[in-house]
Amino acid sequence: MASNSEPIDSSIKSKRPSDSAFKQQRLPAWQPILTAGTVLPTFFVIGIAFIPVGVALLYFSDEVNELVLDYTDCNDTLSQGRCEDIIVNQSKPNCLCKINFTLEKDFPGKVYMYYGLTNFYQNHRRYVKSRDDNQLLGQLSTTPSTDCQPFAFDINDTKKPIAPCGAIANSLFSDNLTIYSNLKNEEVPLLKTGIAWPSDKQIKFRNPPGELKEAFKDYAKPLNWQRPVYELDLSDPKNNGFENEDLIVWMRTAALPSFRKLYRRVDHDKDSYRQGLPSGNYTLYVNYSKLRYTVSSVLVRGKKEDDLIDNVASRWEEPISWDSVHCCGVCVPPAWDSVPLHPHQVRQEVRCFHYNIHSRRGCTAEMINVNPRTTYQ
């Protein structure tokens, strides 16, 4: 009887792996048998080895000197009213307040000044995306990235594109903070440069070619800014435009809702401050701006603080709560890239930021019906 099977075409390439020890998984292998007698000694040895590391970290952390000043309820130097109330009620565009403090001991070494925010969700997805990286590289266009909406064009009749566009730039921290030495009768010299990551300043941010005022003449400033981007630093023409270091620091969004950002460095080239920040009586001057409290009155419910820190080594601590200003020595804050947050809480904050920009108490009603399909207006 004839066979019905067809001959196999030898030209068809087989997909079967070759008969090798590697591809057929016949290589010799060793699998340890984990028992209490082998695991526990290993854990103990590793733990003992890391004890000196922990002791060293604790020692260097204890070397940090820190002074925190809360200026949440700081009063206006003229009217003696709370600056928060003055700005929210829009009775004045700015409010100047001062807080006297004393350094009980010298802060040797390099001293830095930080500001900190609480309940400010820079890690919200829409907020993080709300920027135009090509624009920040100096490649100006009349049509900014759609990610910048609704902060891409000026809302006035001009309809000019905004530079820099987006929600991140629009909410730039703009309180002006200075420290005055009562002992020396002079303002403590603070540097506005050297505060941004070198990689950010050299790679991610570039000014457009030519004179900045001319380059930005067809572009509007962000809605909540008081000055255009080419006038961010009136004392240093090189620290303007997209290369302004305050802007660069702010544009690097934080992973947590409570965070610190480097604000200033004490200039140790001055004779009085070569060894650090000497002990004595000082005054912190805070110039609240309209933008600053437009943001804080809606998104932030924490405190404002001034934090002075000195260190000769390193620092590992959780961020101090909000609106803080920190002067510190060599400081290494946590640098986590992401952290899970309650999504409903995040949406509440951002929606309040957009719809209730001038009212803290008007925020509750807007929170009620926020869901994942709510349009970002």
263-279 residue pLDDT tens: 999 999 998 899 999 99
Q: Determine the Cα–Cα distance for residues 281 and 268; give it in Å rounded to an integer.
A: 19
Model pLDDT, residue 156: 76
Residue 324 lies in a domain: no
Residue 314 lies in a domain: no
Q: Give bridge partners of residue 309 from the DSSP assignment.
A: 66
- Give the closest residue to 352 by CA, choosing from 375, 373, 371, 370: 370
**Helix or strand (DSSP H, E) at 280:** strand 280-289
Contacts of 261 (CB under 8 A, 6+ apart): 114, 115, 116, 117, 173, 249, 250, 254
Residue 184 lies in a domain: yes
Residue 128 lies in a domain: yes
Amino acid at 81: G
Residue 365 lies in a domain: no
Residue 53 lies in a domain: no
Higher pLDDT, 110 or 69: 110
Higher pLDDT, 212 or 29: 212
The total of structural domains in the chain comes to 1
Residue 42 lies in a domain: no
At 196, list the tokens: 């941004």
Q: Is the pLDDT of residue 184 over 50?
A: yes
Contacts of 363 (CB under 8 A, 6+ apart): 298, 348, 352, 356
**C-alpha distance from residue 313 to each of 39, 109, 111, 327, 332 (Å):** 36, 9, 12, 15, 9
Q: Quickly state the pLDDT bin for 306 (edges 50, 70, 90).
A: low
Maximum C-alpha span of the chain? 116
Residue 213 sits in which domain range? Answer: 64-306
Mean pLDDT for the stretch of residues 137-164: 89
Residue 22 lies in a domain: no
